[in-house]
Structure 1
Amino acid sequence: MAKWGEGDPRWIVEARPDGTNVNNWHWTEKNASHWSNDRLKQLLVGLTFDIDLANVRTTELSKCDGEATVNNRKAKLIFFYEWDVSVKWTGRHKDSDEDITGSIQVPNLSDENDADDLDITVSCKSNSKESSEVRQMMQRMAIPKVRNQLASYVRELKEEYGKDMILPTNKGSSSPAAKPSAAPSPAAPAAKSVPGAAPASSGASSSASSVSTSRVQEKCEFQAAPEDVFNVFVDKERTQAFTRGSAQLEPTPGGKFTLLGGNVEGNFVELVRNEKIVQKWRMNTWPSGHYSTVTLLFTSSPNGCLLKLKQDNVPTSSLESTKEGWHRYYFESIKMTFGFGAALM
């Protein structure tokens, strides 16, 4: 670490009593999922639509699956949110004494979609003439109102969870760059905490040859056949499912891959069907041009498949976050997504 008044300004700590995250250089993350669930319920339940044809009211947030996080990196806020939402509604047609019920579904509320791009559908449980008329009314009236409510959620998320993420700099004020960024485009989605997401240390230069490196070796047992686990890493749809982000894969020697909109990239070096994958692999936060070598070995085990991971040339500054990332965002996510943690039948 540099002495006070010397060296890299990112590491000058005398301006903050606690000496933490000076100038907002390090990656910090705040979980906004619980707040989001509550806020979406408040915004979407209790909406009323009263006209001469019918009186309708939303009654329940029946589905709210997903997550939301706010990240601060180099005094720049990055918002990640992804929700699959469903709201129940009930109403009564003026010419009927029976209650009519249905739901409003929003499967793609995420940082990759503006409010106008959301897929919002209105469904109705019955098929009577009155029900059809009420559903058509809801399509005209409810969809625009729900879009506005969801736009409010996004705005409030950025205001509520962005205000405390940027710490004062060593000059006593927030960094000029500390403004909430717009929702990332599909080409550059919000960077969840994934393997290697920690920034390179101040002692590492941008030259790949000068990076201090270490090795990661991990094992994970999946209750699935080796070929099923192998396919998770080479099939685009499966990869996008467990990473919950966009991916491009060319699973042939020399073929390129990008995960999470380019936050992870590299190329395939060797593939032995259902047995072995070797990749040149890097995070886009690593020094320019620096790649690690990932070797994945798939072998049969009494419970299904034993996956052995070896990753060489990992920047030492990213070693612990890389280990954690493989377990949390690869191994555990694969088990949860595909049920590979359940007993084989």
Structure 2
Amino acid sequence: MHLRIRYVNTGTVKESGEKHKGSVEIPNLSEENEVDGTEINISKKKGEGDVLKDLMRTEGTAKVREALRDYLNALKTEFTLGMILPTKGTVGQEWSAERKLCGNTAQGSVSPQSLDRVGVKIPTVRIVMRELFNSPADELYSIFTTKELVQKFSKRPAVIEAEKGGKLQMFDGCVSGEYMELVPGERIVLKWRCRSWPDEHYAVVDLNFKDMATQTELQLECKGVPVPNEDSTRQCWQKQYFEEIHFLLRQSKDNME
């Protein structure tokens, strides 16, 4: 995805009350590139002063990049959770590619016979994934059950009531559910859904933490995923959960050193 953005506005110098017109242009915004390297062009109307232009080139550029980072994170979240849907012309192609991908991915597997029916009556599948984390099981378990840690890796406000029947809400409400079972350091069972799924339909997510001293293998089983959302659900767990948790763990290790 590549976007070109141009924003025109008027700014006022507080001390003098002078108004200046100018524009901010991002010629090539892409989720494939680092935001810090994104080109940001600042221009002003001919004849206007340079005070705000110089300010925008320094502090303003940093603020723009911060906003772009938040925008791309939100866009990625909505895409992986299926909030951004394919057009009619690509549905058949993406469905075929999705089925092929799921059958060959190294990250997880889908039982071909596992068409379950959970919640409302729609065809569903079971997803199985495994991920190795450089963290003891107790620490990894806490990342899934502590509000402050969930908000750190998800980069969004969250509702985390880590007790049986407690509510769960993440990614600005794109994911919601409740805790069904908790065994500290060993297992979490969730009633879990994406906002784009049919109303009142939930999957059952079973997270098992296999302690391997300094590392933990997280075994995930997600039963009741709507068939059209199979790949987006896998991407959600891989990119929005696993990859962000890896990043959080690396940050914590760097801070300790």
For the superposition of Structure 1 and Structure 2, which TM-score range results when normalised by the shorter chain? 0.5 to 0.7
Residue correspondences, number: 192
Structure 1 CA distance, aligned partners of 2:183 and 2:194?
24
Structure 2 CA distance, aligned partners of 1:196 and 1:277?
24
Pair 260,309 (structure 1): closer, same or farther in 2 beyond 3 Å: same
Instruction: Name the structure 1 match of 2:233.
Output: 322
Question: What letter corresponds to residue 43 of structure 1 in structure 2?
Answer: I
Instruction: Name the structure 2 match of 1:193.
Output: 79
Secondary structure of the 2:139 match is helix
Instruction: Name the structure 1 match of 2:71.
Output: 81
Pair 49,340 (structure 1): closer, same or farther in 2 beyond 3 Å: closer
Structure 2 CA distance, aligned partners of 1:44 and 1:259?
39
Pair 302,66 (structure 1): closer, same or farther in 2 beyond 3 Å: farther
1:43 aligns with 2:42: yes
Instruction: Name the structure 1 match of 2:151.
Output: 240
Larger gyration radius, structure 1 or structure 2: 1
Q: TM-score, normalised by structure 2?
A: 0.61
By how many angstroms is 1:210 displaced?
2.1
RMSD: 4.1
Instruction: Name the structure 2 match of 1:276.
Output: 187
Instruction: Name the structure 2 match of 1:159.
Output: none
Pair 288,191 (structure 1): closer, same or farther in 2 beyond 3 Å: same
Residues 122-142 of structure 1: per-residue CA shift (max 9 Å, x gap) = xxxxxxxxxxxxxxxxxxxxx
Structure 1 CA distance, aligned partners of 2:77 and 2:133?
27
- Can you give the 5+ residue segments of structure 1 that lack an aligned partner in the other structure? 1-29, 51-55, 70-79, 84-110, 112-188, 202-206
Question: What letter corresponds to residue 71 of structure 2 in structure 1?
Answer: Y
1:262 aligns with 2:173: yes
By how many angstroms is 1:292 displaced?
0.2
Answer whether contact 1:199 1:285 (CA < 8 A) is retained: no
Question: What letter corresponds to residue 273 of structure 1 in structure 2?
Answer: P
Secondary structure of the 2:159 match is strand
Instruction: Name the structure 2 match of 1:105.
Output: none
Structure 2 CA distance, aligned partners of 1:256 and 1:296?
17
Structure ranking higher in helix proportion? 2
Using CA pairs under 8 Å that are at least 6 residues apart, name the structure with larger relative contact order, 1 or 2: 2
Residues 50-77 of structure 1: per-residue CA shift (max 9 Å, x gap) = 9xxxxx76665785765748xxxxxxxx
Answer whether contact 2:205 2:221 (CA < 8 A) is retained: yes
Q: TM-score, normalised by structure 1?
A: 0.46
Structure 2 CA distance, aligned partners of 1:265 and 1:333?
18
Secondary structure of the 2:41 match is helix
Residues 29-48 of structure 1: per-residue CA shift (max 9 Å, x gap) = x9468597677742399x94
Instruction: Name the structure 1 match of 2:107.
Output: none
Structure 2 CA distance, aligned partners of 1:317 and 1:309?
20
Please list, as runs of the form range in 1=range in 2, the aligned pairs for 1:121-132 lying within 5 A after superposition. none
1:311 aligns with 2:197: no
Structure 1 CA distance, aligned partners of 2:170 and 2:153?
11
Secondary structure of the 2:211 match is strand
Pair 303,262 (structure 1): closer, same or farther in 2 beyond 3 Å: same
Please list, as runs of the form range in 1=range in 2, the aligned pairs for 1:1-345 lying within 5 A after superposition. 31=30, 41-43=40-42, 48-49=50-51, 60=58, 68=68, 81=71, 192-195=78-81, 197=83, 208-301=119-212, 303-339=214-250
Answer whether contact 1:224 1:304 (CA < 8 A) is retained: yes
